Amino acid sequence: TAPSETLGFQAEVKQLLHLMIHSLYSNKEIFLRELVSNASDACDKLRFQAIDNPELMQGDADLRIRVEYDADKRTVTISDNGIGLSREDAVQNLGTIARSGTKEFFAQLTGDKQKDANLIGQFGVGFYSSFIVADKVSVLSRRADASETEAVLWESDGQGEFSVTQVEKADRGTSVTLHLREEEDEFLSGWKLREILRRYSDHISLPIQMLKEEWSEEKSAQVKTTEWETVNQANALWTRAKNEITDEQYKEFYKHVSHDFEDPLAWTHNRVEGRSEYTQLLFVPKRAPFDLWDRDGRRGVKLYVKRVFIMDDADQLLPTYLRFVRGVIDSADLPLNVSREILQESRDVRSIREGSTKRILMLLEDMAENKPDDYKVFWEQFGQVLKEGAGEDVANQERIAKLLRFASTHENSANQTVSLADYVSRMKEGQDKIYYVTAESHAAASNSPHLEIFRKKGIEVLLMSDRVDEWMLSFLREFDGKSLVSIAKGGLDLEQLADEDEKKRQEEVAEQSKPLIERLQKALDGKVKEVRATARLVDSPACVVVDSNELSPHILRMLQAAGQ
């Protein structure tokens, strides 16, 4: 390869850079948080790889992050002795956005600063946030397994191109140097940088070091010494006692592990002792990531073993329907060289998964009861995923069922706010079933002709139109001893709810319509199984129903769409 070459950013990166500078300007100091977060991730990765390959440490096992500034050159530099980047890594990771769904995400941007700032935050701003305060960024890096002459210098002014040059670097790791824009002098201050680090990065478990400063009478100013001092607490946040952690610290830690920009909605932090010993610090985000439905795109819970980072999105640690949860689990029992394969079989992992599931369900139960507004937010973002749990997690089905929310004829709105317990509390005298209708849209559900008789009798019906509903209902057959019944299926025994007069009338109608029914039966021969008189319609002349033991029309259409 050529020693130096100039390459163009992926189109989406160009768009992101442009938007970020304009929409996140009021929050510009977050660049430091993002670069420190990356440095910490790079050290975690090295520590993990060194478990099998100790020579990667090259005699320098004290992992740390350093922050320096040079007032004359007007630069701020963040360096680490972590895993480092090769030339290819630099081109890939600092020139493109690798997450799937990126294109679709950018298509949603509106040009409205406020809205776009929210969207971009959700996307995660990362390394590119450097360009909010810098008009040139230089990344000098050497991978832990590369030689002195195989280092790379990546440089860009954030305008659309970057250069990569092969250079020398004496030690392993990465230094990111920001050449500050004219108006950003405030960051050329030891006091200011320390303040930002304490606010945003105190939870980082590695030492973050800066050069000590002393008062000089001669210059009548603070001057830097040559001695490094650690400016954060430098112990893993989750190992600290709960009462020593502020909400702000929890929130900043969440942003680091989740790569999210917004505060979390809720969290749960517990140390579990006994048969299996672990610490869990789990968060529920405020907003679904744009790739929630992309199973490869998710970043879930990080696994640590005795404080050593082992892997990202360890999907064995929580069931699939809790894939929106972020955070860390630190096990005292698993071996450091644990692999994904071992995770699948491990009994310790099974007990961690059960314990963590319980904790999240408790957190949601508490939210539903005590913070209904938060629960509304949660349900809008993640309700459809939680519904998967009613099928996937038989052991917790009852608890999950209590957390579900639906639209219903009682509310006259598409908002899903009605719990099964609400429904049961409003059941009519003599009613022993929970009725629902499924359709492809809320409008179709709420206009279903099957609803007529229920509306007339004042019986509430749940209106379901999420894709996952039919699937969920094939597992969730009853709640509180009452079976869930589709009103679109045959054999609805509404008789118990009918009074004597009405029963008589229905029998008469059936008798009178016999000749008509015979004619219809002939005319539709082979097209339908049976024609019968019904009491379930009020305004519509006829409707098609499915046998009570057959698939509903909605699920049939879904299967047809899937080519079955």
Residues at the interface with ligand ADP (CB under 6 A): 34, 38-39, 42, 80, 82-85, 93-94, 124, 126-127, 174, 259
Q: Which residue is nearest to Mg ion (CB)?
A: 126
In the complex, minimum distance from the CB of residue 127 to Mg ion, in angstroms, rounded to a whole number: 6
**What does 475 interact with, of ligand ADP, Mg ion, none (CB < 5 to 8 A by kind)?**
none
Burial of 380 (0-12, 13-18, 19+ CB in 10 A): middle
Q: Say if residues 330 and 292 touch (Cβ distance below 8 Å).
A: no
User: Collapsing DSSP states into helix, strand and coil, what is residue 322?
Assistant: helix
Q: Which residue is nearest to ligand ADP (CB)?
A: 126
In the complex, minimum distance from the CB of residue 111 to ligand ADP, in angstroms, rounded to a whole number: 23
| Assigned token pair, 121 | 């935050």
**What does 42 interact with, of ligand ADP, Mg ion, none (CB < 5 to 8 A by kind)?**
ligand ADP
State which residue, 136 or 259, has the beta carbon closest to ligand ADP: 259
In the complex, minimum distance from the CB of residue 17 to Mg ion, in angstroms, rounded to a whole number: 15
Closest alpha carbon to 352 in 381, 372, 391, 322: 322
Closest alpha carbon to 436 in 422, 448, 421: 448
What strands, in cross-sheet order, belong to the sheet with 65-70? 4-8, 161-167, 151-156, 134-142, 173-180, 75-80, 65-70, 208-216, 221-230
**What does 80 interact with, of ligand ADP, Mg ion, none (CB < 5 to 8 A by kind)?**
ligand ADP
Please name the helix (run of DSSP H) or strand (run of DSSP E) that holds residue 505, with its range, or none. Answer: helix 500-512
User: Collapsing DSSP states into helix, strand and coil, what is residue 140?
Assistant: strand
State which residue, 84 or 389, has the beta carbon closest to ligand ADP: 84
State which residue, 240 or 299, has the beta carbon closest to Mg ion: 299
Q: Find where tokens 């004042």 sit.
A: 458
Q: Find where tokens 């046998």 sit.
A: 547
In the complex, minimum distance from the CB of residue 443 to ligand ADP, in angstroms, rounded to a whole number: 39
In the complex, minimum distance from the CB of residue 207 to Mg ion, in angstroms, rounded to a whole number: 19
**What does 83 interact with, of ligand ADP, Mg ion, none (CB < 5 to 8 A by kind)?**
ligand ADP
Rounded-to-integer distance, Cα 469 and Cα 438, Å: 8
Sign of the dihedral through C-alpha 53, 56, 62, 66: negative
Burial 126-161 (b: 16+ CB within 10 A, else e): bbbbbbbbbebbbbbbbbbebeeeebbbbbbebeee
In the complex, minimum distance from the CB of residue 243 to ligand ADP, in angstroms, rounded to a whole number: 31
Question: Which residues of this protein are in contact with Mg ion, per CB under 5 A?
Answer: 38, 126
**What does 68 interact with, of Mg ion, ligand ADP, none (CB < 5 to 8 A by kind)?**
none
Q: Say if residues 128 and 35 touch (Cβ distance below 8 Å).
A: no
Q: Say if residues 510 and 504 touch (Cβ distance below 8 Å).
A: no
User: Collapsing DSSP states into helix, strand and coil, what is residue 537?
Assistant: coil
**What does 359 interact with, of ligand ADP, Mg ion, none (CB < 5 to 8 A by kind)?**
none
State which residue, 260 or 330, has the beta carbon closest to Mg ion: 260
Q: Say if residues 416 and 407 touch (Cβ distance below 8 Å).
A: yes
State which residue, 41 or 469, has the beta carbon closest to ligand ADP: 41
In the complex, minimum distance from the CB of residue 80 to ligand ADP, in angstroms, rounded to a whole number: 5
In the complex, minimum distance from the CB of residue 125 to ligand ADP, in angstroms, rounded to a whole number: 7
Would you give the distance in Å from CA 241 to the centre of its chain? Answer: 26
In the complex, minimum distance from the CB of residue 453 to ligand ADP, in angstroms, rounded to a whole number: 55
State which residue, 82 or 327, has the beta carbon closest to ligand ADP: 82
Report residue 301: phi and psi, to 5°.
-85, 140
CA atoms within 13 A of residue 96's CA, in its CB half-sphere: 9
Q: Find where tokens 């096992």 sit.
A: 61
Would you give the distance in Å from CA 436 to the centre of its chain? Answer: 30
Q: Find where tokens 């009452």 sit.
A: 482
State which residue, 93 or 165, has the beta carbon closest to ligand ADP: 93
**What does 418 interact with, of Mg ion, ligand ADP, none (CB < 5 to 8 A by kind)?**
none
| Assigned token pair, 374 | 């938060």
State which residue, 94 or 266, has the beta carbon closest to ligand ADP: 94
State which residue, 156 or 174, has the beta carbon closest to ligand ADP: 174
State which residue, 39 or 144, has the beta carbon closest to Mg ion: 39
In the complex, minimum distance from the CB of residue 256 to Mg ion, in angstroms, rounded to a whole number: 8
State which residue, 46 or 473, has the beta carbon closest to Mg ion: 46
**What does 486 interact with, of Mg ion, ligand ADP, none (CB < 5 to 8 A by kind)?**
none
In the complex, minimum distance from the CB of residue 92 to ligand ADP, in angstroms, rounded to a whole number: 8
